[in-house]
Structure 1
Amino acid sequence: MSDLKTDICVIGAGAAGLSVAAGAVQMGARVVLIEAGEMGGDCLNTGCVPSKALLAAGHKAHHTAQAAFGVAGHDPAPDFAAAKDHLRAVFDRIAPIDSQERFEGLGVTVIRARARFVAPDMLEAGGQRITARRFVIATGSQPFVPDIPGLSTVAYHTNETIFDLRDRPEHLIIIGGGPIGLEMAQAHRRLGSAVTVIEGARALGRDDPEAVALVLAQLRAEGITIIEDAAVTSVAGQDGAMTVQTAAGASITGTHLLVAVGRRPVFDDLGLDQAAVAHSPKGISVDAGLRTSNPRIYAIGDVTGGAQFTHVAGYQAGLILRPMLFGLRARARTDHIPRATYTDPELAQVGLTEAEARKAHGARLSVVRADFAHNDRAIATGQAHGFAKVMVVRGRPVGATIIGPQAGELIQIWALAMASRLKMSAIAGMIAPYPTLGEINKRVAGAYFAPRLFESRWVKRVVRIVQRLR
């Protein structure tokens, strides 16, 4: 076994690890990157990229079938295998950015093997003992599979296998009504499958109930069966014919089963005890600077058990480069992190929901909103459904919810406002091109000031005085 010394050793070549490796090596650090699986991690291979590509195929099929604006719709006859070819084409275009060849070209030493700590300052991988000034654990997460009687005896799918299907499921049963479950439900329904979603609590339970209701109404209108407050008690059957039982006595039979009830951090066999790194089943413990109990080791991304988003992984990667490369202090924030569910309509959130804001701020809170029904671009394009809602305390947004067309794009201005601690006046003063969906953000900001301008006796008194004097 040979010895290798480096400045930074990164474990995991997903979004978090790749961002650290690329940033550090281009700023002059020696970097070793270790990955036992596929380069690019979950997001590229089995998560964000294939799911959004499949949603795009379903979106195309759905809107081809709709009659609108004097144009007749027609049966698109979705070709499920061709849709999967689209996923492969998207992957082939993006994969080179995350490839081993690219990172070796940047100067990173890439080792394709499993890593295991053997001491607080050393790990082994690929027949080498690696010591580093700093280690970064970025091993991500994997689907959580609940202990449901009978589940281990049937051929169920998770996000790691569902995209490999070439034949369209006749009836897809999905256990889990979170973002992954509902996105896959709509994509498969629009591509011709019957779909039933079973959720043990409330679908999209983290999000604003008013916004969630619009999502669920659309999915149900498209023929998706969504069963809430239904704990699954058992699964039985075989590939092509399986049955899911719920605590309420319901029996749902379908051809395929997707389990989408969450994810768990991956750090099995990493030797964390030998590295003196504190952890629990929920994830690796880190401080505000994302440093573990071993000051030589950082942990970022899904493995910490926090928000499981690619953009969070990228944010945390950039954050820890400051102390590792420049000795500067860094402290992670979570209040400005946006999230989006890419159903149609899209649902996006940053900061606190209305319920969370009312609990945190009480009478100090103002809630303002604008509806897409009054947005000229949304009206012109037949998308005038949904709203933008912003929670405001002392003139600054503390949260924003958008449900409607391109919500994931529109939420970004509120993420900027919260990251930069801007006031509502900054958004109200923005000039948006007309007609655009983005005008809804300016309108909702204006709604915050409208009562102060149009309902104030003092404003009206000043105006009358000025008019007499001029």
Structure 2
Amino acid sequence: MTEITVNGMTCTSCATHVKDALEKIPGVNAAVVSYPESRAQVMADTAVSHNQLLAAIAALGYQGSIRVGDFKDEPKIRDALEGAGLHIAIIGSGGAAMAAALKAVEQGATVTLIERGTIGGTCVNIGCVPSKIMIRAAHIAHLRRESPFDGGIAATVPAIDRSKLLAQQQARVDELRHAKYEGILGGNPAITVVHGEARFKDDQSLTVRLNEGGERVVMFDRCLVATGASPAVPPIPGLKESPYWTSTEALASDTIPERLAVIGSSVVALELAQAFARLGSKVTVLARNTLFFREDPAIGEAVTAAFRAEGIEVLEHTQASQVAHIDGEFVLTTTHGELRADKLLVATGRTPNTRSLALDAAGVTVNAQGAIVIDQGMRTSNPNIYAAGDC
């Protein structure tokens, strides 16, 4: 390994440019460049001369000099450089999967990324991005209806066209998915995207049931499971037989229901409850305990007071014991009487997407909730398999 002092770098982008220039030299296998430490470590064939390395650095306008001596961190750097050439399989395409894929490629690995659904995972498609757009629209509607400046700015009742709001919301989702996920994956030759559902065949291979039909076996040196989570459904009699909403259906709805019942008392339930109320729904929240009962009690008390001030009904210590859907109407039997609504949103937590992975075939341990058990380095019980994110 050759270590070079590089003077003149002013940011991490400079380090990236130096790394790219060094790795373009025939015979250079991999390079690690640090801007804060002003140095580069290069693993190259013996035919590569020091002058070639220094010339590549000088061509970028930086000054390089070969360092000599015993480098204490050489084993660690050598291990990182020898990561070049590894094949890494990644199951999922959300934030954790993308971060890992790009870093792996940066270190010289090749990646096969497997996605059974829409590229981008929860956040950009059905989570953070669409929900925050809807919440922002609802906030604007709220400010038009009432604000601290109503004494000098006449309030007005907004006309809500949910179908147009949804079209705007989805257009932004599509734009960001392409810019942050699809476009990046499609433009990186070291990443192969396979559309299908993966399960472990053994501890070194996956079987992928392809969306277009057939199967494919993907071998790997390392694997990352980043399959996210899905809405949990409580075992309320009659619920599964009804057309209830999870957050996914709520965010995709092109109408605002006249009456909305919400089962749940944490972030997803409450942010959507307030958004629908501000867009015109009469909302009732059923909380098994109190709002945000796992947090500081003052938080739940403040949110409850704010909700009630906005006309949102909060039923604390209330559970549904039965759900029926009759003639287009939800009928909930609760500990405090009967509740009727046009739509029912269930947001009571999320469950790791691990059941279909055949993790036992690879010796990967999960906990009682189905979440993959990892150590501080995100390794599973199989040292060649890692997991990250909601799974």
Identify the TM-score tier after normalising by the shorter chain.
0.7 to 0.9
> Residue deviations 1:336-386, cap 9 Å, x none?
xxxxxxxxxxxxxxxxxxxxxxxxxxxxxxxxxxxxxxxxxxxxxxxxxxx
Pairing partner for 1:14 from 88, 91, 94: 94
Pairing partner for 2:173 from 91, 101, 115: 91
| Letter paired with 1:123 | L
Q: Aligned pair count?
A: 298
| Letter paired with 1:49 | V
Using the alignment, how far apart are the partners of 2:390 and 2:368 within structure 1? Answer: 12
1:279 is paired with a residue of what secondary structure?
coil
Whether the 8 Å CA contact 1:243–1:252 is kept in 2: the answer is yes
Q: Structure 2 regions of 5+ residues with no counterpart?
A: 1-84
1:284 is paired with a residue of what secondary structure?
coil
Using the alignment, how far apart are the partners of 2:352 and 2:368 within structure 1? Answer: 8
Residue aligning to 2:310: 222
| Letter paired with 1:81 | S
Residue aligning to 1:78: 160
Larger fraction in helix: 1
> Residue deviations 1:69-120, cap 9 Å, x none?
3111111122222221221122122111344342131231110111111111
The alignment yields a C-alpha RMSD, in angstroms, of 1.6
Using the alignment, how far apart are the partners of 1:215 and 1:249 within structure 2? Answer: 21
Higher deviation after alignment, 174-183 or 18-27: 18-27
Whether the 8 Å CA contact 1:6–1:130 is kept in 2: the answer is no
Using the alignment, how far apart are the partners of 1:24 and 1:186 within structure 2? Answer: 41
1:251 is paired with a residue of what secondary structure?
strand
Pairing partner for 1:51 from 111, 131, 138: 131
Question: Is the counterpart of residue 123 in structure 1 residue 206 in structure 2?
Answer: yes
Superposed, which structure 2 residues align to 1:51-450 within 5 Å? 51-69=131-149, 70-107=152-189, 108-125=191-208, 126=210, 127-238=215-326, 240-246=328-334, 248-282=335-369, 283-303=371-391
Q: Is the alpha carbon distance of 1:35 and 1:104 closer, same or farther for their aligned partners in structure 2, counting shifts above 3 Å?
A: same
Identity %: 39
1:96 is paired with a residue of what secondary structure?
helix
| Letter paired with 1:117 | F
Using the alignment, how far apart are the partners of 2:361 and 2:327 within structure 1? Answer: 43
| Letter paired with 2:171 | A
Q: Which has the larger radius of gyration?
A: 2
Q: Is the alpha carbon distance of 1:103 and 1:268 closer, same or farther for their aligned partners in structure 2, counting shifts above 3 Å?
A: same
| Letter paired with 2:355 | D
Using the alignment, how far apart are the partners of 2:116 and 2:204 within structure 1? Answer: 20
Using the alignment, how far apart are the partners of 2:361 and 2:294 within structure 1? Answer: 37
2:355 is paired with a residue of what secondary structure?
coil
Whether the 8 Å CA contact 2:318–2:336 is kept in 1: the answer is no
Using the alignment, how far apart are the partners of 1:252 and 1:142 within structure 2? Answer: 27
| Letter paired with 1:264 | T
Q: Is the alpha carbon distance of 1:67 and 1:274 closer, same or farther for their aligned partners in structure 2, counting shifts above 3 Å?
A: closer
> Residue deviations 1:15-51, cap 9 Å, x none?
1111111222133221110001111111111111111
Using the alignment, how far apart are the partners of 1:22 and 1:141 within structure 2? Answer: 22
TM-score normalised to structure 2 length: 0.73
1:19 is paired with a residue of what secondary structure?
helix
Whether the 8 Å CA contact 2:291–2:301 is kept in 1: the answer is no
Q: Structure 1 regions of 5+ residues with no counterpart?
A: 304-470
Deviation of 1:239 (Å): 6.5
